């Protein structure tokens, strides 16, 4: 039974099986940093691929 916020937190972290979920639950800001990092990498690579495929005047 959950009796306090601390016990809820430890129960939440305890039942995670992968390290990424553990870090995301233990340090909430780390999850946002990882998400922003992933989105920025995808965006950068997408723009790079687009620019390689189009004419010079159509590049971003």
Question: Taking the complete model, does pTM exceed 0.85, yes or no?
Answer: no
Instruction: Give the torsion sign (CA, 10, 25, 29, 27).
Output: positive
Structure confidence at residue 2 (pLDDT) = 45
The model's pLDDT over 4-26, given as tens digits with 9 standing for 90+, comes to 556 555 555 556 677 777 766 66
**Does residue 3 carry a pLDDT above 70?**
no
Is the pLDDT higher at 39 or at 34?
39
Angle subtended by helix axes 5-14 and 19-26, to nearest 10: 160
Cα(24)–Cα(49) distance, integer angstroms: 31
Cβ contacts of residue 23 below 8 Å, gap of 6+? 30, 31
DSSP 28-44: HHHHHHHHHHHHHHHHH
């Amino acid at each position: 039974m959950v009796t306090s916020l601390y016990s809820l937190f430890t129960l939440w972290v305890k039942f995670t099986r992968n390290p990424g979920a553990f870090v995301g639950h233990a340090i909430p800001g780390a999850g946002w940093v990882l998400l922003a990092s992933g989105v920025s990498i995808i965006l950068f690579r997408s723009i790079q691929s687009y620019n390689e495929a189009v004419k010079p005047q159509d590049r971003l």
